[in-house]
Amino acid sequence: MVDEYIWGSVSRLSPEAPVPVVEVKAESFRLGGASNVAANIQSLGGSAVLVGVVGSDLPGERLIQEIEAAGMKSDGVVIDRTRPTTIKTRVVAGSQQIVRFDRESIADLSKEAADRVLEMVTTQLADVDAVLISDYAKGVICKRIARQIISLARRCRKIVVVDPKVHHFSLYKGATVITPNHHEALAFARLPAWGQEDLLAVAGKELLQKLEVQAILVTRGEAGMSLFEDGRATHIPAVTKEVYDVTGAGDTVLAALAMAMASGASLREAAFIANHAAGVVVGRAGTATISREELLTALKASTKYDPPTSSSPSDGGR
């Protein structure tokens, strides 16, 4: 996925319609989707093996060039001539996003493209410590691919961490950890969208039971994160001082969480680390990555941080 930005300023309205006129100052082209997750792994000092799909077009060619410029191999990138490369274009004036327009196909992959994706994953699986699935509901992650990857990974005793879309939750039964946001978790449990911690605890417990995963890490924006394990809930407050842009923050959470777990951290430790990583990137404009040094600095700066509190999910995590 391409995250394209058009940066500018606004000083007047158009005489043609009641819309702002953006005076363009700069444009940028950034890795998005699974490629941003992989870029975060690389910047944190890991080694990412990226598998994904692009179209046979100029954006796809440039995306492959950017992947290689970020220090990753593009061997796992499948070129599908039947679909375009997904592009999200955001027009930003000052610190305000004016509009976003998407060019994409969300149809499921053809059997040929799906076969190639599964072949790439199967070939690389033995040499990795963890499998990350970044599901943006753009047609790559379908029932067949999700189920086969998780089955293969479990057979090889690999950590599986998933950033899911709510209508795909059932595909990730048996994963190690899934990282839905607050609204997705509540929607899955058919609870009000703006539930309190007690409702979120109900959703977390239901997800644990139905998906048979080790943990659910719910990202809650300015409220931080909540980690639900069997019999225990841990609430971790946000650490960022100012939220500038949440674009791609879930990618950073997925990368940092999996990296920490693959390095031997407990689930609580990994969630704490991922929370600090997210706190850094949301203070930046646009899709961003975090380096190992920046993460260490953020962790060292949290010396006054109170340890996360744990409780039974049944009491709302208070």
pLDDT, tens digit only, all 318 positions of the chain:
999 999 999 999 999 999 999 999 999 999 999 999 999 999 999 999 999 999 999 999 999 999 999 999 999 999 999 999 999 999 999 888 999 999 999 999 999 999 999 999 999 999 999 999 999 999 999 999 999 999 999 999 999 999 999 889 999 999 999 999 988 999 888 888 765 677 888 899 999 999 999 999 999 888 889 999 987 899 998 886 565 556 668 899 999 999 999 999 999 999 999 999 988 888 777 677 888 999 999 888 875 445 455 554 334 333
Q: Is residue 264 part of a domain?
A: yes
The answer to whether position 272 is within a domain reads yes
Determine, yes or no, domain membership for 14: no
- Non-local CB neighbours of 31 within 8 Å, separated by 6+ positions: 1, 2, 3, 38, 39, 63, 66, 67, 70, 287
Q: Which of 80, 102, 251, 306 is catalytic?
A: 251
Contacts of 198 (CB under 8 A, 6+ apart): 315, 316
Q: What is the pLDDT of residue 318?
A: 30
Residue 251 catalytic?
A: yes
Q: Which domain holds residue 232?
A: 34-64+73-81+106-315
Q: Is residue 192 part of a domain?
A: yes
In a domain, 305, yes or no: yes
Cβ-contact 37, 132 below 8 angstroms: yes
What's the CA gap between 15 and 30, in Å, rounded? 33
Residue 245 resides in a domain: yes
Dig out the tokens for 164 from the structure.
Answer: 């899911």
Specify the pLDDT at position 92: 93
The dihedrals phi and psi of 42, each to the nearest 5 degrees, come to -60, -45
Structure tokens at 151: 């089955």
The pair phi, psi for residue 93, each rounded to 5°, is -115, 115
CA distance 91 to 193: 28
How many domains are there within the chain?
Answer: 1
Q: What are phi and psi of 310, to 5 degrees?
A: -120, 155
Does 101 map to a domain? no
Note the pLDDT of residue 241: 59
Report yes or no on 163 lying in a domain: yes
**pTM (predicted TM-score):** 0.88
CA–CA separation, 128 vs 194, rounded Å?
Answer: 38
Alpha carbon of 251 to those of 15, 98, 105, 219: distances in Å? 40, 23, 21, 12
CATH number at residue 299: 3.40.1190.20
